[in-house]
Amino acid sequence: MDFVTSIKVCFRKYAEFNGRASRSEYWWFYLFTILVYFVSLIASSLLQIISTEIYIIGSIGVIGVIFALFLPNLAVSIRRMHDTSKSGAWLLMGLIPCFGLFIVLILLAQPSTSGPNQYGAKPRK
């Protein structure tokens, strides 16, 4: 799956927590999310140079971007966990201080379960 297709699929499945997501779908959408956050933060910082009042509006925009991308990011993360035959609850490991985030990243990077599993058929690449 390429970058643009991944973004389209993730927004089409905006709040769909059932099913599976391939590694490429997850990581391309993750890259997209990071780029959008980065651009919104840069734009907000540039607005601060112009005026404090405009900077406040820019900051609200950044918060809006974070909220807008939270649900599709959560959905694709849960579907990615399903692709490795794990429950989406494994994402809660990220709340454990120090090592939890690394454990979640390792789980998200695991290869897909070959063939169908309890969460559905193997996604197309």
Q: Could you report the per-residue pLDDT of 88-99, keeping only the tens digit for each?
A: 999 999 999 989
The parent domain of residue 69 ranges over 3-109
Question: Looking at the domain assignment, is residue 8 inside a domain?
Answer: yes
Question: Looking at the domain assignment, is residue 122 inside a domain?
Answer: no
Question: Looking at the domain assignment, is residue 73 inside a domain?
Answer: yes
Question: Looking at the domain assignment, is residue 63 inside a domain?
Answer: yes
HSE (side-chain half, CA atoms, 13 Å) at 46 = 6
Question: Looking at the domain assignment, is residue 18 inside a domain?
Answer: yes
Q: Is the pLDDT of residue 55 over 90?
A: no
Question: Looking at the domain assignment, is residue 117 inside a domain?
Answer: no
Model pLDDT, residue 17: 94
Q: What is the pLDDT of residues 3-46, one digit of tens each?
A: 999 999 999 998 999 999 999 999 999 999 999 999 999 988 88
CB proximity list for 99: less than 8 A, separation 6 or greater: none
Question: Looking at the domain assignment, is residue 40 inside a domain?
Answer: yes
Model pLDDT, residue 124: 75
Q: Are 90 and 81 in contact (CB under 8 A)?
A: yes
Q: How many domains does the chain have?
A: 1
Q: Is the pTM of this model over 0.85?
A: yes
Question: Looking at the domain assignment, is residue 54 inside a domain?
Answer: yes
Model pLDDT, residue 125: 63
Model pLDDT, residue 46: 84
Q: Is the pLDDT of residue 111 over 70?
A: yes
